[in-house]
Chain A
Amino acid sequence: MATATLAGLRLPGLARLGASPAQVALGLAVAAFLVAFLVVPVLRVAWVAFQGPAGFTLVHFGDFFASTLFREALYNSLYVAAMTVVLATIIAVPLAYFIARFDFPGAGIIHTLGVIPLVMPPFVGAIAMQLVYGRNGTVNLLLNDAFGFRIPFMEGLNGVIFVEGIHYFPFILLNLSAALSNIDSAMEESAQNLGARGWTLFRTVVFPLALPGYVAGASLVFVKVFDDLATPLLLNVTAMLAPQAYLRITSVGLADPVGYVISVIMVAVSLAAMGGAALLLRGRDYATQQRGGGGLQRRRMRSGEAAFAWIFIAITLLIVLSPHIGILLLSLGTVWSFSPLPDGFTLAHYGTVLTESTRYMVNTVLYCGGAGLLDVLIGIAIAYLVQRTRLPGRRLLDQAATASLAVPGLVLGIGILRTYFEVSVPGIEGSLATSGLMLTIAYAVRRLPYALRACDAALRQLHVSLEEAAEMLGAGKLFTLARIVVPLMLGGIAAGFVTAFATAAVELSATLLLVTRDVNAPLSYAIYVYMQSPAGRGPGAALGVIAVVVVAVGTWLSHRLAERDRSRRSREVVAA
């Protein structure tokens, strides 16, 4: 106890940790969750990459870089990810600007429809995309009839960029419009007062202030595209890293470590991209100085502007929602083959799924709702620990949770099976690894980064004095969290919940590995099962439509909740 002898100096254990016992316990609980369900399973799989006949080796990494194909794949993946960011930016920035700048009735529509592209039911989405944009899809058949040429939307790397761009642009839209709405209108006004307007105003004030939001969204797009497997597979583009890893890991009977090497390299690149974005934003987190916000000054559009905006929005939404229109047609069509539209229409597919599939819907709501809930709880905990405490290692929690973005679902699925199959828990029939509970946990791990970012942003908006006031009045940390912090973060929490819920509802890769019993199966699994046969296309698409509708309703509700929250807060700012 050398410290005690220094007169007047106190360094008791917990004070040295900079955290209260409850905070330490919270941190440990979150860490335990991440270690148990993310780190350990992933390491158990990734370990193969480092194993040679004589134990640990790096020779497989040498093989990776010695291979022309893998070097090409690495380059292609980086190229596609970067170009997708460009395309997504072109789509998202004008939409975000319309919402932030103008008072017009389309804002709610953009918000809701902006999330829908993220909800692409597996397989159904792929087929619908081909039916709309494929080389003999609706668009190209019509073009060919009318003008005698086709546009290769879905061919090669450009096809991947196109599909990824219209799938993932909402990440930029959501983050950017959140950033724009946090800009204090006084900042804009003071710039105008100093003579800046129009483009100069945008370039010198609005853009730099919105940059953190943009970079957050763009890095998310980059990482998601870099890791995305479904799109390259759908377009049969194999010269990219994710499909190479997938093909190697899942080929029957192949015990080649290079697949795992690729996985490790993908995780490394993704982490580097996210780290780079964080570095870029260091010291530029202006949001913390912009309490209250209130957003840019909104004004009514002149009629010419409104017409232009509506046309842009209509075209953009038509393009980005065309897969969903395709799914809708597929679910209502009889046979759709080599023709712009289905041969005939019927409601029979909905009849089929409604009688057979209520169980899947209930399971989806149960698992994805559970996962969303778990995600916002953990998201709040991590955001709180990072922003409000000085607990050692708190940033590591954030980084670990975010890193799950970079873990392919298949790797996580295999890892969880490998780690937990032997475990059984009283009250759960069969193995823990294949229970609905574990599926919920796996979804939660996969979608945690979305919820975490939303909670983190929401907490940043909250002045610490609101919590201190509660503590001063006798409320402990946990009570303050429950009664003050969480209710005030509600808008952000809702956004995080919806994103996690919506994307989990269509997650397939881990689902396929972890579902063992029909009674445990969620919607995405049912869609997969239907889509395995030609007759199942219609019912599968009908289930896809149902999934999209469920998500759309959830998004709309959370948008309402967030708006209410925001207006409550901004009224306060006006009053003060």
Chain B
Amino acid sequence: MTRIVPFSRRTLLAGTAAAAVAPALGARAQALEDRLVIVTSFPRDLTTPIVQGFERRHPGTKVEIQNRNTAAAVAFIRETRSSPPDMMWASAPDAFEVLKKDQLLQRYRPQATGIAEKVGAYPVNDPDGFFVGFAASGYGIMYNTRYLRANNLPVPKEWDDLAKPVYADHVGISAPSRSGTTHLTVETILQGEGWEKGWALLLAIGGNFASVSDRSFGVPDAVNSGQYGLGIVIDFFGLAAKASGFPVEFVYPSVTTLVPANVGIVAGARHPRAAAAFIEFLLSPEGQEILLDPKIMRLPVRPETYAKAPPGFPNPFTDASLGARLTFDSEKSEARYELLNSLFDRLITFRLSELKAAWAAIHAAEAQLARRDNAEARRLVAEARAKASAVPITEAESLDPQIAGAFQPTRPDRPAGARQAQIEERWDTFARANYAEARRLAEQAARLR
């Protein structure tokens, strides 16, 4: 039986992590500290109303927000063990996993009741209690309506749609290595479609990418500006942009991922009681309602809160299609986390122009086939598709500790295999050769009359 523990890539390791926070009675018995320092990657639109609400509830405590991107936040907490900030507050589950693995978080079990166990197929909280989900967000497609109209593009509904030739050069995504949420989307597609088929789909969509951004917010930025028309983004980016007046819309495909937004107390926090109170506030009905603000647009984890939601607000507790389609094997995800990031970069991010050229040639050949069929050409195009959809390693290999281990920090207990750089070089060679061959085959097919 597969235990469903999403996002905990290092469950076993984490068992040895730092001591739990003082139990709740301590938190209740003593007054809160006068300060609370929170590192967050959330925008001000989200943090300000919540912090204001918290400070109204606990007037004696002043909250200090430190805005950092996720990577800088993790690096900061890592480098400041002796006097860390009190809390980490961010979307990216992988960042929390890394902190948990490095024993930089401490346990806290929330007191609040009425919180759902699961959103979609995912448990809200870290099973080991190191971090707590306070909201959920779904992945989907955001698009610029002016852009689609100007370019005569249809509105997409499903992930597969994005692989269609019509969207060539109109789609944007952030790299999974840079965005924990994109990583989850990629992993979900791979688990939902199967390894080989999943990669074929990703590479076909990849052929339509206008660019691969290095930061999550780069994608909604570009769609908002109309640099490209469609972006694979987390829902609140689309919903909040729409609420801010941009001509954009957001759709959930039927296979979507729901990603929890988390908060955790940093090990050695100076203000643990205020931190605990902050978590309780987030989970309280008052805190949950703030999430419905049009500038924030996160899905509350308290089902009753949806009663106050504006019409059309997605509700994962009533809409079964939202994220409930598949079960997610988190052990698999954990085993190949870094490997998957690197593989995506090698196959798509760093070889985007080669990949796009291959797919452009395939699309051109197929268009010609549609006008005049030709068996030989069809065979060549099929071969080209196969080349442009191939992945250098099997699913079994992706989970092999000998290979996947090369992408993780060196540990004495793991046998030394090939180094990351050597494996990556093999993948890079594989990708370049395949894309060049696919392009050659497709162009050859196009020349056949």
A, B: real partners:
yes
Do B227 and A136 have beta carbons less than 8 Å apart? yes
Given A136-B225, A252-B94, A516-B85, A532:B217 Cβ within 8 A: yes
Residues on B with C-beta less than 8 A from A258 are 420-421
Given A156-B353, A253-B338, A513-B76, A528:B420 Cβ within 8 A: no
B213 to chain A, nearest CB (A): 6
Nearest B-chain residue to A237, judged by Cβ: B211
Do B79 and A529 have beta carbons less than 8 Å apart? no
Task: State in angstroms the CA–CA spacing of A69 and B144 once bound together.
Answer: 34
Interface residues of A in 516-539 (CB under 8 A from B): 516-519, 525, 528-537
Question: Is A574 an interface position by the 8 A CB rule?
Answer: no
Residues on B with C-beta less than 8 A from A167 are none
Task: State in angstroms the CA–CA spacing of A258 and B420 once bound together.
Answer: 9
Chain A contact-residue range equals 35 or more
Do A251 and B71 have beta carbons less than 8 Å apart? yes
Do B43 and A239 have beta carbons less than 8 Å apart? no
Given A134-B227, A337-B226, A516:B37 Cβ within 8 A: yes
Interface residues of A in 354-408 (CB under 8 A from B): none
Task: State in angstroms the CA–CA spacing of A519 and B144 once bound together.
Answer: 37
Question: Is B147 an interface position by the 8 A CB rule?
Answer: yes
Question: Is A142 an interface position by the 8 A CB rule?
Answer: no
Given A67-B421, A68-B428, A236-B211, A532:B144 Cβ within 8 A: no
Residues on B with C-beta less than 8 A from A107 are none
Task: State in angstroms the CA–CA spacing of A418 and B227 once bound together.
Answer: 39
Task: State in angstroms the CA–CA spacing of A137 and B226 once bound together.
Answer: 8
Given A422-B82, A536-B44, A336:B295 Cβ within 8 A: no
Residues on A with C-beta less than 8 A from B92 are 252
Question: Is B307 an interface position by the 8 A CB rule?
Answer: no
Task: Scan A130-150; emit 1 where CB is below 8 A from any B CB, else 0.
Answer: 110011110000000000000
Do B83 and A533 have beta carbons less than 8 Å apart? no
Task: Scan B33-58; emit 1 where CB is below 8 A from any A CB, else 0.
Answer: 00001000111111000000000000
Do A529 and B44 have beta carbons less than 8 Å apart? yes
Instruction: State how many residues of chain B have any CB contact under 8 Å with chain A.
Output: 86
Task: Scan B347-377; emit 1 where CB is below 8 A from any A CB, else 0.
Answer: 0011001000000000000000000000000
Do A68 and B432 have beta carbons less than 8 Å apart? yes
Do A337 and B425 have beta carbons less than 8 Å apart? no
Do A68 and B425 have beta carbons less than 8 Å apart? yes
Do B79 and A127 have beta carbons less than 8 Å apart? no
Question: Is A64 an interface position by the 8 A CB rule?
Answer: yes
Task: State in angstroms the CA–CA spacing of A397 and B183 once bound together.
Answer: 46
Question: Is A243 an interface position by the 8 A CB rule?
Answer: yes
Identify A130's interface contact among B97, B225, B337, CB under 8 A. Answer: B225
Given A69-B428, A130-B225, A533:B44 Cβ within 8 A: yes
Task: State in angstroms the CA–CA spacing of A418 and B79 once bound together.
Answer: 6
Identify B79's interface contact among A137, A255, A417, CB under 8 A. Answer: A417
Do B349 and A339 have beta carbons less than 8 Å apart? no
Question: Is B254 an interface position by the 8 A CB rule?
Answer: no
Question: Is B68 an interface position by the 8 A CB rule?
Answer: yes
Residues on A with C-beta less than 8 A from B341 are 251, 254
Residues on A with C-beta less than 8 A from B421 are 60, 63-64, 66-67, 256, 258
Task: State in angstroms the CA–CA spacing of A422 and B82 once bound together.
Answer: 7
Given A68-B432, A236-B211, A243-B214, A252:B95 Cβ within 8 A: yes
Task: Scan A103-136; emit 1 where CB is below 8 A from any B CB, else 0.
Answer: 0000000000000000000000001001100111
Nearest A-chain residue to B80, judged by Cβ: A421
Task: State in angstroms the CA–CA spacing of A44 and B177 once bound together.
Answer: 25
Nearest B-chain residue to A431, judged by Cβ: B83
Do A238 and B350 have beta carbons less than 8 Å apart? yes
Do A431 and B80 have beta carbons less than 8 Å apart? yes
**Which residue of B67, B79, B337, B345 has the most chain A CB atoms within 10 A of its CB atom?**
B79
**Which residue of B178, B416, B421 has the most chain A CB atoms within 10 A of its CB atom?**
B421
Residues on B with C-beta less than 8 A from A534 are 220, 224, 237, 240-241, 244, 246
17 more contacts with CB within 8 A, not counting A246-B214, A517-B64, A535-B295, are A64-B421, A67-B428, A130-B225, A136-B226, A236-B214, A256-B407, A256-B420, A258-B421, A337-B144, A337-B146, A337-B248, A338-B144, A513-B68, A518-B66, A529-B67, A530-B44, A536-B45
Sampled A-B contacts (25; CB under 8 Å):
A67-B421, A69-B425, A127-B225, A130-B222, A135-B210, A135-B227, A136-B227, A238-B214, A238-B349, A250-B71, A250-B72, A252-B71, A253-B337, A254-B407, A338-B147, A339-B146, A417-B76, A513-B68, A513-B72, A516-B37, A517-B37, A531-B217, A532-B44, A533-B44, A533-B295
